[in-house]
Amino acid sequence: MTTRFALDRSRSIARFNSGGARVRDAEFKESEHPRSPNGEFGLGHGGGASAAPAPAPAPAPAPAAAPAATHKPVPNLPPEPGTAPVKEGYVRLYHQTGRENIESIRKNGITIEHAQGIEGPRAVYAGETPFYGSAESRPTIEFQVKKEDWDSPFVLRDVTPEDFIGVHEPWHSKARYLEEHPESLKQTLSGEFDDLEGDYKEAVDYIKEKYGTSKTKPPPIDKGSYKMHPEVEASMNATLQNLNDRFPQLENFITKVALTPKAGNEWDNFDKEMRIGGFGLDKPLAEVDLQFDKDNAPDFDVKGGMTALLTHEYGHALNDYIITHSDDAGKDKWYDGKKRLEKELGSPSEYGKKNTGEWLAERFTAETLGLHEPVLTNFIKECMSELPAPKPKKGKKK
Ligand SMILES: [Zn+2]
């Protein structure tokens, strides 16, 4: 029997292996707010009789209350090969070598004395393209020298670390993929790729070291009288924690996630809480996701299960946060920017055409799920970075 996690996992690996486009397709989500009179919005997410069973327990999310650890910064990956600018009058070159030479080269550069091509006489061999294979297949030093120091295929002097643009290792492209895809990042941090080996393992270890110590907590879930399947609860916590890690200002802004009897979902600007229909959440995650999927027509909203639903509401919360904390100039920038992007980017779904608020929530969801470039997300980050820092919350926490 195949579980949802097994499926998602193999898809993710295929994706991050190829570094290619997201292949995940129809998944679902229920919609929200005011239910439309024509009944387009899904009603409760009970039922789900035909859903595939998913017996595997959900992996536990990263511990929510990580101690304020001494979080040593992990260096960023070099820019993707061939993308960083080169100085005027310089030429971009690549030198490929064995893995065993990398550490020494990082420290000392590539010296004529020590350098060896993979074959041939001693010299600093280089090429204007990586000639033994791509940077994904073997360690590759990307560097720049003045044009007069380059006499193909030789560099006529030692290459020092100051000349380096990037020291690329085969696992970097895999780590870069994980970094750029929030869903895959979440899966990595929850341990779903822990058994991978080779370059994958190096990528996973790097990501876990860099992002593993979660700096935020997800908002508490007020279940009321509703029961939740542990998979569903773990998935909700992981999604919200992942979002809070990206937007830590919202950690103390969103007061809670309340399960309610209403079939729709909403962000409440007044109480600063997210409300999610509580009925049917006691079923396995695959079933819940599938039910959301069925509730609305195919292009009605951005599909992506419980994750998409929460991400949509989180988009409303971000909007509320920015408006609440902006001065007049900040508000103008935010309103004008949203309108401009809405026009430029179009809506990722039917529901996003309803108004700018729903456009924002749908577009944010689509970007977070990796369906579109993070254009809106970058604008959100920019506006948030210009807000005053959040005041620490007073009062003791239990
Ligand atoms: Zn909405």
List the chain pLDDT tens, one digit each, 398 residues: 322 222 233 334 444 444 333 322 222 233 344 333 232 333 233 333 333 333 444 444 444 333 333 334 567 778 789 888 888 999 999 999 888 888 889 888 998 876 655 556 667 889 999 878 888 888 999 999 999 999 998 998 899 988 999 999 999 999 988 888 878 888 898 888 988 989 999 999 888 877 776 678 899 999 999 999 988 988 898 899 889 989 999 999 999 999 999 888 999 999 999 999 999 999 998 899 888 877 778 888 898 889 999 999 999 999 999 999 999 999 999 999 999 999 999 999 999 999 999 999 999 999 999 899 999 999 999 999 998 665 555 544 44
Based on the structure, what is the number of domains in the chain? Answer: 2
Chain centroid, CA 351 distance in Å:
23
Choose the final residue of a domain: 148, 170, 192.
170
For residue 58, how far is its CA from the centre of ligand 1 (angstroms)? 27
User: Same domain, yes or no, for 330 and 222?
Assistant: yes
210 neighbors 41 (Cβ within 8 angstroms):
no
Q: Does 298 lie in the same domain as 238?
A: yes
Same domain as 31, residue 122: no
Q: Is there a domain that residue 323 lies in? A: yes
Contact 242, 185 (CB under 8 A): yes
* Residue 147 alpha carbon to ligand 1 centre in Å: 56
Residue 77 lies in a domain: no
Amino acid at 12: S
- Cα 84 to Cα 240: distance, rounded to the nearest angstrom: 34
| 185 inside domain | no
CATH classification of the domain holding 306: 3.40.390
Note the pLDDT of residue 390. 54
pLDDT of residue 103: 86
Instruction: Give the distance (Å) from ligand 1 centre to CA of residue 365.
Output: 10
Tell me the CA–centroid distance for residue 103 and ligand 1, in Å: 51
What gap in Å lies between CA 11 and CA 9, rounded to an integer?
Answer: 5
Residues 347 and 278 in one domain: yes
* Interval between CA 89 and ligand 1 midpoint (Å): 52
Helix extents (H) in the chain:
4-18, 102-108, 172-180, 182-189, 199-211, 230-246, 285-295, 305-325, 328-345, 356-368, 375-385
Query: In residues, how long is the chain?
Result: 398
- What pLDDT does residue 259 have? 97
How many A from CA of 314 to the centre of ligand 1?
Answer: 9
Residue 55 sits in the same domain as residue 94: no
From the CA of 34, how far away is ligand 1's center (Å)? 9
Return the sign of the alpha-carbon dihedral for residues 148, 152, 156, 159.
positive
Q: Tell me, in angstroms, the distance from the centre of ligand 1 to residue 254's CA.
A: 16
Q: What is the 264 CA–ligand 1 centroid distance (Å)?
A: 10
Choosing from 113, 145, 170, the residue where a domain stops is: 170
Residues 53 and 94 in one domain: no
Burial class (CB in 10 A: 0-12, 13-18, 19+), 218: buried
Shared domain check, 258 and 380:
yes
Q: In terms of domains, do 379 and 237 share one?
A: yes
* Residue 323 shares a structural domain with residue 364: yes
CA of 341 to the centre of ligand 1 (A): 17
- Check residue 122 and report its DSSP letter: S
User: What single-letter DSSP state applies at residue 149?
Assistant: G
Position 391 scores a pLDDT of 58
How far does residue 349's CA lie from ligand 1's centre (Å)?
A: 12
Q: Are residues 282 and 321 in the same domain?
A: yes
- Tell me, yes or no, whether 20 lies in a domain: yes
3-state secondary structure of 229: coil
Question: What are the structure tokens assigned to 312, written together?
Answer: 């949509």
The alpha carbon of 5 and the centre of ligand 1 are apart by a number of angstroms equal to 28
Whether residues 57 and 102 share a domain: the answer is: no
**pLDDT score for 286:** 87
- Alpha carbon 209 to its chain centroid, in Å, reads 16
Query: How far is the centre of ligand 1, averaged over its atoms, from the C-alpha of 218 (Å)?
Result: 20
Residue 38 placed within a domain: yes
Residue 39 placed within a domain? yes
Q: Are 38 and 174 in contact (CB under 8 A)?
A: no
Look at residues 112, 143, 170 and tell me which one is the last residue of a structural domain: 170
Expressed as residue numbers, the domain containing 54 is 4-62+215-385
> Considering the domain boundaries, does residue 153 fall inside one?
yes
Q: Ligand 1 mean position to 29 CA, how many Å?
A: 12
User: What would the two tokens of residue 274 be?
Assistant: 């997210």
Model-level pTM?
0.51
The answer to whether residue 289 is domain-embedded is yes
Inter-residue contact 265 to 41 (CB < 8 Å): no
- Report the Cα 59 to chain-centroid distance in Å: 18
Q: Are residues 315 and 272 in the same domain?
A: yes
Instruction: Kindly state the tokens that stand for 253.
Output: 């802004």
CA of 193 to the centre of ligand 1 (A): 33
Residue type, 384: M
For residue 112, give the nearest of 48, 155, 79, 62 by alpha carbon. Answer: 155
Q: How many CA atoms lie within 13 A of 175 on its CB side?
A: 25
